Amino acid sequence: MVAQNRLALVAGAGPGLGQALLARFAAGGLTPVGLGRTRPDQTNGAFHALDLADPTAVAPVNAELMAEHGPPAVVVHNTAELVIAPFADTTLEDHQRCWSSMVQTAIVLAQATLPSMAQTGGGAFLVSGATASLRGGARFSAFAIGKFALRGLTQSLAREYQTAGVHVCHVILDGIIDTARSRDRHGLQPGKMMQPADIAEAYWQLAGQPRSTWTHELDLRPASEVF
């Protein structure tokens, strides 16, 4: 079980999955705090707008939160930067932006939270992956590079921090998450997309797994998704 009233940090807490995660953690008795570049119109719990790739921006916010709440019980890395373009038209800046948004932010977040979580005996550090974590598709080079690297980083963190009681898990989201933006972009019916609240429930279950049966990698997809 996840200890009540402890901090739940969600980095990349935008509309959709980020806010659904905050809502689920709040329902479970945790204190939800969202982090991201832009504050959503509506947010569950507190929200800090900051550049997650900048350690000098993250450090003071993290220190303030830990001074008030102690080390977090759950940390979710949920940031992403999607670039879809032919490789010849994908600039070096595109690749760097994807790496910074997905990998550098995870490094900064992990360095800010994992040592204190390990010192106090545990918690869960959950990372949102994608289909591109496993397979680099045509026109997705920048996105795939970031997601591949993020998966490797998560494996390394799990092998270093699991023995200290921190559950590090990589979640492959193999499908389109249902948001207003994704409906406009992809033209899919809601029944063929992943529902944010359902994904958040899976994360909640991961955060509460007993230590004798920890999942390191979980893949989630709609029933209609071909794989």
Q: What is the CATH number of the domain that holds 159?
A: 3.40.50.720
> What pLDDT score was predicted for residue 61?
97
Residue with tokens 């600039």: 91
227 located within any domain: no
Predicted TM-score (pTM) of this structure? 0.96
The C-alpha R_g of the chain, in whole angstroms, comes to 17
3-state secondary structure of 169: strand
Intervals of the chain under pLDDT 70: 1, 3-4
> What pLDDT score was predicted for residue 134?
97
> What pLDDT score was predicted for residue 121?
82
3-state secondary structure of 103: helix
2 located within any domain: no
Give the count of domains, the chain. Answer: 1
Cα 188 to Cα 166: distance, rounded to the nearest angstrom: 37
> What pLDDT score was predicted for residue 6?
94
48 located within any domain: yes
> What pLDDT score was predicted for residue 1?
59
225 located within any domain: no
79 located within any domain: yes
226 located within any domain: no
Residue 61: partners with Cβ closer than 8 Å, 6 or more residues away: 35, 48, 50
- Determine the structural domain holding residue 98 and report its residue range: 7-220
